[in-house]
Amino acid sequence: MENPIVKVENLSHRYTAQWAIRDINFEIRDKGVVGLLGSNGAGKSTTMNIICGVLKQTKGEVFINGINLKDKPVEAKRNIGFMPQKLPLHLDFTVEEYLTYCADLRMIDKHKVKEMVGAAAERCGVAHFRGRLLRNLSGGYQQRVGIAQAIVHNPKFVVLDEPTNGLDPNQILEVRNLIKEISQDRSVLLSTHILTEVQATCQDIKMIEEGKIVFAGTIEMFDNYIEPNSLILSLDTPPLQDELMKLEGVKSVEQMASYKFRLGYDGDKRTAQKIAAASVNNGWGLMEMMIEKSSLDAVFASLSKKNPN
């Protein structure tokens, strides 16, 4: 079987006596966007910095495309692109000068620099600004240049730290689309605090709390992490509230409008089915029944409180 693009084994790091991250294990597949979530101080930056080869871990291993980052850092880093939260832009460079400078740092073959800079600029939608000084670009376009420098050497794995920070809503949409676009043929690890961003961009999620992984799975699994236990019921000719309360498995009834109720129930699917059947059999005129799912914020809050030890 092919190597996963990233494999992290028992990764641990301490800056002082306290462990910042402890025994982290995960793999990242070769395409798509993975969201890295966690509260402030959870260990996201520490993990990302180690995976990008910016910080050397206290213990454990990181393999990038099967190459041990600690043993062969130069070779491993050819596969990695990184856009830190604070963009490392030289504002007095033009877009082309800056990307060329980054291509040199990435040790791209001299004959290929122009072509690869052109391709990255084109892909990130900044080619028409190639002669413009970075300081004269809007925040959204500076962010695009930040992404272009991360992919200039065509790495298989890109790490983006809070890529939409400080952008306006239109710029956010554009950058999200760009991230999705570049993840078509590479893997992107995206750190963010914004859960709508995760929902809009990521297929997979890793969540860290107190230096440990508390969740690793698909966005659907994250979304369904909390079993629903309430539903909204709209009835054309509703019975008295007491009648609804008597239904098997129903724990609470809240009237939201003359025809609309929120029913707390035991979470059993069969209870929901029985509520639907009772509404039909009793002629209550069932118009709508909708299971209420927990929001991503509620899932995040619940996982944050989970004891990772």
Ligand X SMILES: Nc1ncnc2c1ncn2[C@@H]1O[C@H](COP(=O)(O)OP(=O)(O)OP(=O)(O)O)[C@@H](O)[C@H]1O
Where do contacts with ligand X occur on this chain (CB under 6 A)? Answer: 15-16, 20, 38, 40-46
Beta strand residue intervals within the chain, DSSP E: 6-14, 19-28, 32-37, 59-64, 67-68, 80-83, 157-161, 187-191, 204-209, 212-218, 230-235, 250-255, 260-265, 286-291
Say if residue 213 is exposed, middle or buried (CB neighbours under 10 Å; 0-12, 13-18, 19+): buried
- The span from the CA of 226 to the CA of 207, in Å, is 15
The residue among 159 and 253 lying less far from ligand X, judged by its C-beta, is 159
Q: C-beta of 194: minimal distance to ligand X in Å?
A: 12
Q: Is-contact 145 126, C-beta < 8 A? A: yes
Q: How far is the CB of 252 from ligand X (least distance, A)?
A: 37
Name the residue nearer to ligand X (CB basis): 117 or 188. Answer: 188
Shortest separation between residue 164's beta carbon and ligand X, angstroms: 15
Instruction: Identify which of residues 79 and 192 has a Cβ nearer to ligand X in the complex.
Output: 192
Residues paired with residue 35 on neighbouring β-strands, in sequence order: 190, 205
Q: Give CA–CA dist 283/277, Å, rounded.
A: 10
Whole-angstrom Cα distance, residue 45 to residue 191?
Answer: 8
Q: How far is the CB of 160 from ligand X (least distance, A)?
A: 14
All residues at 6 or more sequence positions from 221 whose CB lies less than 8 Å from its CB, including other chains: none
Residue nearer to ligand X on the CB measure, 114 or 306: 306
* Closer Cβ to ligand X, 21 or 253, answer by number: 21
CB closer to ligand X out of 140 and 211: 211
Considering the complex, what minimum distance in angstroms separates the CB of residue 223 from ligand X? 22
In the bound complex, what is the minimum distance in angstroms from residue 262's beta carbon to ligand X? 35
The answer to whether 291 touches 223, Cβ cutoff 8 Å, is no
- Rounded CA-CA distance 4/29 in Å is 5
